[in-house]
Structure 1
Amino acid sequence: MNILFIHQNFPGQFRHLAGALAARGHSVKALTLRVTQVTDWNGVQVLPYRLARTGGQALHPWMTDMDSKVTRAEACYHAACKMRDAGFAPDVIVAHPGWGESMFLRDVWPEARMGIYCELYHLPGYPHLGFDPEFRRDDSGTEALRIRMKNLNNHLHFDIAQAGLSPTAFQADTFPPPFRDRIRVVHDGIDTQALRPDAEAVFALPDGRTLGRGDEVITFVNRNLEPYRGYHVFMRALPALLAARPGAQVLIVGGDGVSYGAHPPAGRTWKQIFIDEVRGRISDSDWARVHFTGRIPQDQFRAMLQISTVHVYLTYPFVLSWSLLEAMACGAAIVASDTDPVREVLRDGDTGWLVDFFDAAALVRRIAALAGDGVARARLGAAARAHVVAQYDLETRCLPGQIDWVESLAKMQLAPPVGPRQPSV
């Protein structure tokens, strides 16, 4: 079977699936912005497409997002036409539609079946809007309208896709019922053989010191340190946490940018804003126990989770981070926010402890209590790992489910035709 993957940062969420399909004998190609020339990756032929230069044009601010998606879609369309003219015809197109690239591909290959990765449908109300009033974008009542406009791309793909794939039920359930019925929930998968407890793991601090399982280590991870993932809540808890656990080292992993939500004031970062807010309440000796690592390679990330005494995960009601399940796979004892996506994978008192997202004082109490209770940590960590192995293991559950989903696409009835239609006689 000929399979075409579409992802502007390929492989992205398809990092395991694409290569596995190639290993099964399928002819697999990918279109992406990530490469500049044709490249072979794990048996997948990866082809570049290029964005054409565009002149400035006046746009309503709510249309800027759609404009960027159409720009990518047009570029991807032209690259696909060249592939078609060279003789390539995919049986199945698997796309992450979030950047718009796949919008016109069934105009190129009307007989192809398309499956889309359904990451999130933007709901114009609570909890997607208004969850954290501190970072409300505006008070004019128009934010819900802007969010609805972001779903134009989703709706354009609903018309051309046979089916969807979503990593969690929380994410799938954001989609409206007519398309939700076509979404299969299969997680991207956790490599529980690579991510597992290791009593000998060692993590090197930026200053050259090392930490191991015998040290008390509190860990906190964001892709970027920002409010959507509770960085502000964690930082506001930090002075009391350092006082409550005078022997703890605190590792804070993440970049200085913004992945989700509002940007900080011009010239500043959320990281520094909340450091500045709490630094005056933390002594120099306690501050020496706080380590900002930036982003770290996967082997260091794994070691950090393996030595963690208590791992803290906070998030808005939003896309669940891989890092929570990875921490669970490593047997970490976890304190996490009591929000919908977290409750799907972690049960309070069974596989971790949950706390109200906004309650920094309760967060400190729970972290401190768990850090001081080795029996509870061992029980929670073992249960967390067992749950991930049973439900989210890459090789035994998730990858087989993803492969079955892709191979079943080829057997599905075509969506209604797109493009020009012949008039009826």
Structure 2
Amino acid sequence: MRILFVHQNTPGQYKHLVRRLASDPANQIAFIGKVQREMPRVATVTYKPNREPGTATHPYIHLFEGQVLHGQGAVRAGLALQQRGFSPEVICAHPGWGEALFLKDVFPDAKLLTYCEFFYRADGSDVGFDPERPVTLDTRCRIRAKNAALLTSLEAADWGMSPTEWQFRQHPEAFRSKISIIHDGVDTDLCRPDEDVVVTLPDGRVLTRRDEVVTYVARNLEPYRGFPTFMRAAEDILRRRPNARILVVGGDEVSYGTAPADAANWREKMLAEVSPDPDRIHFLGKVPYDRFLEIVRLSRAHVYLTYPFVLSWSLLEAMACGALVIGSATQPVQEVIEDGRNGLLADFFDSRSVADRVVEALDRACDDPDGVAALRSAARRTVVERFDLERICLPAQLRLIEDLRAGRKPGVTAEVPGLAAVG
């Protein structure tokens, strides 16, 4: 097969899929992105937009102008591939930055498979979730316009792939009949428990599973991932658990939402509001992937909070490592965690509730180790049975691509226990 992947942050969600397809000498694989990363047997072409969106552009379409510029960059990269004799049968593209807008115009005979990660709504998801940020008419108009590139890409696409049922349901009903629910996949052979794990902190202190360790992980520390709630809970947890230590993983940039108006970043803002014991809370910044796995394997209570938004890989990877997760009772998390069966849930905005569930987990680790072991085993089993990379997700993705290439209508879901067919 001849397959073109397109994602501005090479390889993005296509990491496992590209590697698998490129390992077969019968396939020809190319990748268009803004970031140059060498991958074995993959022809890579990078691009950059010619300019930034204009300062005078209407705020509603400022994002769309940027997406059009990215789309034009992807066109130029596609033409470069054409000149080298590459003509894809299937294109796998993430539409979020606009790169999928014009690909069918460059390669009209190719089947376009878009990665349907999210569709913005003024009700029922991230917008309007925080009561301190009410939805205005201006917000509604801005959100409607924000979907322009996603809608255009959906119309052009031959098929779509969405990682979870909740994310699938955010997309317009008119397009759901051509979107399959298939997760990117979790390598459960790599993401697995290790009772002998050892983590050495930057100050030289060594932690093992015998230590009372609470963990929190996000790409960046910000409200979308519940960081303010977590920090308020952290102060409470450390006060109530004198032997506990908290490890915080994440950067100080902004992935989603906005930076605070009155501080350099959300970490500094929250440390000005609350005062957790500085000797027992450790901000580790962004860490390499193997270090992240060690941290969640070490954890006795792993906190994962999120707006109704894209579900983080880190949640499923932590569960696969046998972490006892205290998650927010928001729709993306509730699709994966059932309270008391494979984890614990708490109110996203209620820091006392989060602290109570963490303290409960720590108490149970001492008083009911068999019960905690059962929760941890159930967490891992959930990921193995529904999101396993090699046995479920990659085979489903490969079938979908082959169906498109062969002109067959794909199925709408991966064959996952507990996930009914939709569409």
User: SS of the counterpart of 2:76?
Assistant: helix
1:63 match: 61
1:317 equivalent to 2:315? Answer no
Aligned to 1:360: 351
Distance change (3 Å), C-alpha of 1:55 and 1:355: closer
Once the two structures are TM-superposed, the CA of residue 23 in structure 1 deviates from its matched residue by 1.9
Distance 1:54 1:365, change over 3 A: closer
Report if the CA contact (8 A) 1:332-1:384 is conserved.
yes
* Aligned: 1:382 with 2:377: yes
Q: What TM-score, normalized by structure 2, do the two folds share?
A: 0.92
- Shift in Å at residue 139 of structure 1? 6.4
* Residue in structure 1 matched with residue 284 of structure 2 by the alignment: 293
Displacement of 1:365 in angstroms is: 1.1
User: Which of 375, 396, 405 is residue 401 of structure 1 equivalent to?
Assistant: 396
Is the contact between residue 162 and residue 412 of structure 1 (CA under 8 Å) also seen in structure 2?
no
CA distance in 1, matches of 2:54, 2:96: 23
Say which of 190, 197, 204 aligns to 2:200. 204
Distance 1:178 1:339 in 2: 25
Q: 2:111 corresponds to which residue?
A: 113
Where 1:410 maps in the other structure, the secondary structure is helix
1:96 aligns with 2:97: no
Aligned residue runs from structure 1 range 302-341, under 5 A: 302-341=293-332
User: Offset of 1:411 from its aligned partner?
Assistant: 2.5
CA spacing shift, 1:14–1:54, aligned 2, 3 Å: closer
Q: How far did 1:69 drift?
A: 0.6
Name the counterpart of 1:167: 163
The residue aligned with 2:421 is none
- Listed as ranges, the matches of 1:174-253 within 5 Å are 174-253=170-249
2: CA distance, partners of 1:210 / 1:358: 33
1:190–1:394 CA contact under 8 A, matched in 2: yes
Distance 1:291 1:406 in 2: 44
Superposed CA deviations along residues 179-217 of structure 1, whole A, max 9, x for unmatched, are 111111111111111111111111111211111111000
Residue-by-residue CA offset, 1:159-180 (whole Å, 9 max, x unaligned): 2111001111111110011211
TM-score, normalisation: structure 1: 0.92
List, as ranges, runs of 4+ consecutive aligned residues in structure 1 with deviation greater than 6 Å: none
- Higher relative contact order, chain-length normalized (CA < 8 Å, sep 6+): 1
Partner amino acid for 1:296?
A: V
Opposite residue 287 of structure 2, the aligned amino acid is I
CA distance in 1, matches of 2:49, 2:124: 36
Check conservation: 1:162, 1:413, Cα contact below 8 A. Answer: no
1:418 matched residue in structure 2: none
CA drift of 1:127 comes to: 3.2
1:82 Cα deviation from its structure 2 partner: 2.5
Q: Which amino acid aligns with 1:181?
A: S
Report if aligned partners of 2:327, 2:344 keep a CA contact under 8 Å in 1: yes
- Corresponding residue of 1:6: 6
Is residue 197–residue 294 contact of structure 2 (8 Å, CA) maintained in 1?
Answer: yes
CA offset at residue 267 of structure 1?
A: 5.4
Q: Which structure 1 segments of 5+ residues have no match?
A: 415-425
Q: Give me the identity figure in percent.
A: 44
Q: Following the alignment from structure 1 to structure 2, what is the Cα–Cα distance between the partners of residues 398 and 126?
A: 28
Report the aligned-residue RMSD: 1.6
Preserved contact between residue 249 and residue 283 of structure 2 (Cα < 8 Å): yes
- Counterpart of 2:388, as a letter, is D
- 2:137 is paired with a residue whose SS is coil
* 1:29 paired residue number: 30
Give the conservation status (yes or no) of the 8 Å contact 2:218–2:249. Answer: yes
Cα displacement (A) at 1:387 = 1.2
Instruction: Tell me how far apart the structure 2 counterparts of residues 406 and 413 of structure 1 sit (CA, whole Å).
Output: 10
Residue 254 of structure 1 is matched in structure 2 by 250
Q: Do the aligned partners of 2:122 and 2:128 also contact (CA within 8 Å) in 1?
A: no
How far residue 42 of structure 1 moved from its aligned partner, in angstroms, is 2.9
